[in-house]
Amino acid sequence: MGPDDATLTVVLLHGFGAPGTDLVDLGRYLDIPNTRFVFPEAPLELGGMYGEARAWWRLDLAKLEHDLRTGNASDRSKELPEGLPAVREQVGRFLDELAAKFKTTTERIVLGGFSQGSMVAIDVALHHATRLAGLVLLSSTIIAESTWAPLMTKAAGLPVFQSHGRGDALLPFSVAEQLRDKLKTAGALVEWHPFNGGHEIPPMVLSELATFLRSR
């Protein structure tokens, strides 16, 4: 969605268990001038009780339910999801196709997402051949640390918007702080927006995100 002559493209990736349309209303809510919003659909259909829900890779649902039941969110920094390399290639190729379609460059594309989608966004940003205009991390965490660590220097100078709820029961707030610090140490220009809440995107964060995107 957005004008044909937009000067900025914002690509937002939905989280695990959400339909492909989950974040579409954010584009209308943010209403950034001269900006188009694009909402890719994750490749995996979860089906069954999840309805139209999709995922970028499958999760250990028993572990997820245990975390929710006990209130102890797991540190996923050592996890290397089996489907991550394929998703990285798919989303990276999609960005290049977008740039070609709209006669722009990936340097005019902001990539981001919520939860699992934000993890994909980080991974793509660290591996992509060209610089992005910015990175948006809504309730994110560290995964594939052994893969990301050697690439962190590629984030130098990259504008990053990061938000996280202090009461997030799925992805630990403390690990989000570690991610923030690693990005800052690498030279990324991180805007850190903690809030009192859980695994969500509150109106306050959207207001701050709108300001971030207008500055791009």
Average pLDDT, 10 consecutive residues per value, the chain (216 residues) = 79 95 93 93 81 86 69 83 95 96 94 98 96 97 96 97 95 96 98 97 97 93
CA pair distance 189, 50, nearest whole angstrom: 37
Contact 96, 158 (CB under 8 A): no
| Residue 132 covered by a domain | yes
Instruction: For residue 122, tell me if it sits in a domain.
Output: yes
Residue 203 lies in a domain: yes
- Is residue 31 within 8 A of residue 4, CB to CB? The reply is no
pTM: 0.94
What's the total number of domains in the chain?
1
pLDDT at 24: 95
Residue 2 lies in a domain: no
Give the structural domain span for 56: 8-214
Q: What angle do CA 36, 183, 129 make, to 5 degrees?
A: 55
Phi-psi region of 34 (alpha: psi -120 to 50; beta: other; left: phi over 0): left
Q: What φ, ψ does residue 24 adopt, rounded to 5°?
A: -55, -40
The verdict on residue 108 lying in a domain is: yes
* Distance of alpha carbon 106 from alpha carbon 210, whole angstroms: 20
Report yes or no on 1 lying in a domain. Answer: no
Give Rg (Cα) of the chain.
16
pLDDT at 84: 96
Q: Is 152 within the bounds of a domain? A: yes
Domain CATH code at residue 48: 3.40.50.1820
pLDDT at residue 206, as a whole number: 97
Spatial separation of the C-alpha atoms in residues 112 and 117, rounded to whole Å = 7
| pLDDT at residue 52 in the model | 79
- The three-state (H, E, C) secondary structure of 163-206, written as one string: EEECCCCCCCHHHHHHHHHHHHHCCCEEEEEEECCCCCCCHHHH
pLDDT at 119: 98
Assigned domain for 160 exists: yes
Q: What is d(CA 156, CA 66) in angstroms, rounded to the nearest whole number?
A: 37
Token code pair at residue 70: 């006990």
